[in-house]
Amino acid sequence: MSLIEQVEKQFETFQILSEDGKVVNESAMPELSDEELQELMTRMVYTRIWDQRAISLNRQGRLGFYAPVAGQEASMLGSQFALDKEDWILPGYRDIPQIVFHGLPLYQAFLYSRGHFQGGQIPEGVNVLMPQIIIGAQIIQAAGVGVGLKKKGKKNVAITYTGDGGASQGDFYEGLNFAGAYNAQTIFVVQNNRFAISVPVEKQSAAKTIAQKAVAAGIEGIQVDGMDVLAVYSAVKQARERALNGDGPTLIETLTYRYGPHTMAGDDPTRYRTEDLDNEWTKKDPLVRFRTFLEGKGLWSEEQENKVIDQAKEDIKAAIKKADAAPKQKVTDLIGFMFEELPHNLKEQLEEYKAKESK
C-alpha cells in the first residue's frame, strides 16, 4: 500500500445513521434524551424553512447578502448543539444558523444580511463573532481564541467553520498549526459541500479527504457524514471533550451539500452541477433520514413538524418587522464605532456630518 493510501485509510467516513434512517453504528450513538433529539429535529426543520423564506425575502429585496444553507442543517446545527453556552463560535459567511441558535436574535441576522451595524452588535454573553467574509481569517482567529480560553483556564472551546475551498487558504493551515503548537481549545470544522462557488473540491487539492490535512498540523482529524446529524453531534462532542482534557484541537470534515446556489448574488448552480449529482445528494437529505429515525422511535409526527414550520414562519415575519423598524444608519453612527476615543480627523468629520444630518 502506498503511503498516501495508508494515510487515506485513517480518514474513513464516520456515520451513525444511514440514508434510510437506520442506526449503523450503535456503539457510537451519542447520549441524547428524547427531548434533545426532538429539539435537534426542530432546529433543522426551522432552519430549512428559514432558508426558504430568506431566499424569497432576498428575491423581494427585503434581505441583502444571503448564502443559502439548505442541505447543511445537520452539519451546522448538529455541531452547534454539542456546544456549551459559553463556547465561542467564529462563523464563516454561510454559518448564520449556528450563531442564531447560539443566541444572536434572528432580526439581527436579517440586519446583518441587509448591511446594518445592529446586525453585528452581538448581545452580551453571546460568544460569537460576526460572520467572516475573508475566507480563512476565522481559522487563525479561532486558534487565538482557543489559546486565550486555555490561558484563562476556561472550560470552553472555540469552534470555527469554513468550506472545502477555504481549506486551500494559507490561514487555514496556519490556524490548525498554531492551535496544534499551543494545544489550543479549538475545533475546526470544514463543511465540504463539494463546491467553492463553481469549483469542485477535486480542483482544490489532490488530497482525497480534507480531514487528512490535520496530519500537517499534527492534530486529530475526522471525516464525518455531514448529512447525519447524530454523527456530526457526536464528532464535535468528542472533539470538545478532547480539547478540554488538554488533548488538543481537532479538524472535523463534514461531507455535505448545498441544495441552493452559492449566494443569492446571481450564482446559478446549473452551470457547474449536474442534475444527477443534485439527485444523489437529495437522497441524503439530513431532514429525511433523521425524520425517519425519529418516527421509528415514535418521537416525531407530521403534526409536530407543521407546528415547527408555522412557528418558524411566524418568527421570521416578526423578525423582519423588527429589522424594518431599525433606525436608518447615519455617518455619525459609523464614525462613533471606529475608536474608543476619536482621533482628530474623525472628531472633525463628526462635526461636519452632525451639521449635515441636522439640516
Length of the chain: 359
| Of 62-70, 147-155, 224-232, 285-293: span binding other proteins (CB under 8 A) | 147-155
Q: Which residue has the cell 472551546?
A: 157
Q: Of the ranges 199-207, 293-301, 304-312, 330-338, which one interacts with other proteins (CB under 8 A)?
A: 330-338
* Member of 29, 197, 318, 338 binding other proteins (CB under 8 A): 338
Residue in 33, 270, 279, 345 binding other proteins, rule: CB under 8 A: 345
Q: From the list 4, 34, 56, 134, which residue makes contact with other proteins (rule: CB under 8 A)?
A: 134
Do 71 and 258 touch, CB atoms closer than 8 A?
Answer: yes
Measured distance CA(228)–CA(78) in Å, rounded: 8
Distances (CA, A) of 289 to 1, 25, 46: 36, 15, 16
Q: How far is the CB of 298 from other proteins (least distance, A)?
A: 44
Helix or strand run (H / E) with residue 93: none
Is residue 349 within the footprint of other proteins (CB under 8 A)?
A: no
170 binds other proteins (CB under 8 A): yes
Interface mask (CB under 8 A) for other proteins, residues 292-321, using x and -? ------------------------------
Q: Which is nearer to other proteins, 10 or 118 (CB)?
A: 118
Helix or strand or coil: residue 200? strand
CA distance 116 to 326: 9
Name the minimum Å distance from CB 65 to other proteins: 14
Among 163, 175, 260, 286, binds other proteins (CB under 8 A): 175
Provide the b/e sequence for 310-347 (b: ≥16 CB within 10 Å): eebeebbeebbeebeebeeeeebeebeeeeeeeeeeee
Member of 74, 77, 140, 229 binding other proteins (CB under 8 A): 140
Binding characters for other proteins, 61-90, by CB under 8 A (x = yes): ---------------------------x--
How many CB atoms neighbour CB 245 within 10 A?
Answer: 9
Cell of 1: 500500500
Q: Which stretch binds other proteins (CB under 8 A): 68-76, 93-101, 136-144, 261-269?
A: 136-144
Q: DSSP string covering 215-282, please? A: HHHT-EEEEEETT-HHHHHHHHHHHHHHHHTT---EEEEEE---SS-S-TTT--GGGT--HHHHHHHH
Q: Which residues bind other proteins (CB under 8 A)?
A: 88, 117-118, 120-122, 129-130, 134, 137, 139-149, 151-152, 154, 158, 170-171, 174-175, 177-178, 181, 334, 336-340, 343-346
